Structure 1
């Protein structure tokens, strides 16, 4: 598990560096980013027994029924349980790579010890990860919500032609879609946000069901 997470974190941070994301970091953070890449690489190659200060954390997601925080995006359930995403998050004191693979995400910490994160760190050599209680900073919810909004805006730019292709895929096997995790997540978003949940790429799929 540890090497899998290190592999994903290394690939993501390498891709983000090649995409010029390090230019938005402070000089110290950029240097730490290079060190994190070297550390994760040597850990993968068996030259290091652990990742040191560059910790790896995993967070699993499920559907939510309500949120006590304001400004929750109407695609939050679909984002948490279905979306694929990658980002380099940084502020004045914290920096981490973010690799979201459907219902779980891997965080590769480049700067700042994640002291407020409890129950998410992957122990060195761990081969499995079971459900358990976790403690996280509120700022993480704000970050996830922002990423959900980003994905929502990207999906809203899909061309009409591509939307028709998506709708055709749903029509080709409607039962599979109605039994899918995507449909369940969409139902939860509809329960929470009503018609606002349809204002993205699933609108055409929802219309297919409404049409019978």
Structure 2
């Protein structure tokens, strides 16, 4: 299954095929979480959405996906999917198009996967060694203007606005 997806994507990227066929690509733009109906949202969710990068192969009973998390975007490559019709609004059209505000649908279970991924990033930050934290603190103190203008600081501020001191653990 994954070998077929790899071959299909490879052929497309190398110009050997003009279509992705069943191996659709979906793009989900991400922005600041202003409001949500989710309970227990990770206190670093804005940092995860706006700054984190990650790659994974994710599967459940509904499908198998290649998950690529970029700052402000998720690219979801379909290996196998039973929800293609519901996800249609996020599908990348090979012939071009535009991104615009719309209703995006993640495959079933992806909300839990994304929250778990954000929590794992938070756990990793808590494991940063003391000497490395000291270097980060020194950089912040030596470069306050750069830090205040950074996208990371902006994301931290959004998390702080939403969750208060809990976001800074």
Cα shift at 1:153: 1.0
Q: Do the aligned residues in 2 keep the contact of 1:83 with 1:100 (CA within 8 Å)?
A: yes
1:13-34 CA-to-partner distances (Å, cap 9, x unmatched) read xxxxxxxxxxxxxxxxxxx110
CA distance in 2, matches of 1:118, 1:134: 10
- In the other structure, the counterpart of 1:176 is 146
The structure 2 residue matched to 1:53, chosen from 19, 22, 25, is: 22
Q: TM-score, normalised by structure 2?
A: 0.90
Q: Which has the higher helix share?
A: 1
Tell me if the contact between 1:85 and 1:100 (Cα under 8 Å) persists in the aligned partners. Answer: yes
Residue in structure 1 matched with residue 118 of structure 2 by the alignment: 148
Preserved CA contact (<8 Å) 1:80 1:103: yes
Indicate the residue corresponding to 1:44 in structure 2: 13
Instruction: After TM superposition, give the deviation of residue 125 of structure 1 in Å.
Output: 3.6
Alignment correspondent of 1:162: 132
- Determine which structure has the larger strand proportion and give its number: 2
Task: Report the number of matched residues.
Answer: 167
Q: CA deviation at 1:182?
A: 1.5
SS in 1 for 2:123: helix
Partners of 1:74 and 1:189 in 2: how far apart? Answer: 6
Cα distance in 2, alignment partners of residues 154 and 129 from structure 1: 36
Aligned with residue 33 of structure 2, among 50, 64, 74: 64
Q: CA deviation at 1:129?
A: 4.2
**Please, what TM-score do these two structures have when normalized by structure 1?**
0.73
Cα deviation, residue 130, structure 1: 2.7
1:92 is matched with 61
Q: Report the counterpart of residue 89 of structure 2 in structure 1.
A: 119
Secondary structure in 1 matching 2:76: strand
Over aligned residue pairs, what C-alpha RMSD do you find? Answer: 1.6
Structure 1's consecutive aligned runs of 4 or more residues displaced over 4 angstroms after TM superposition are none
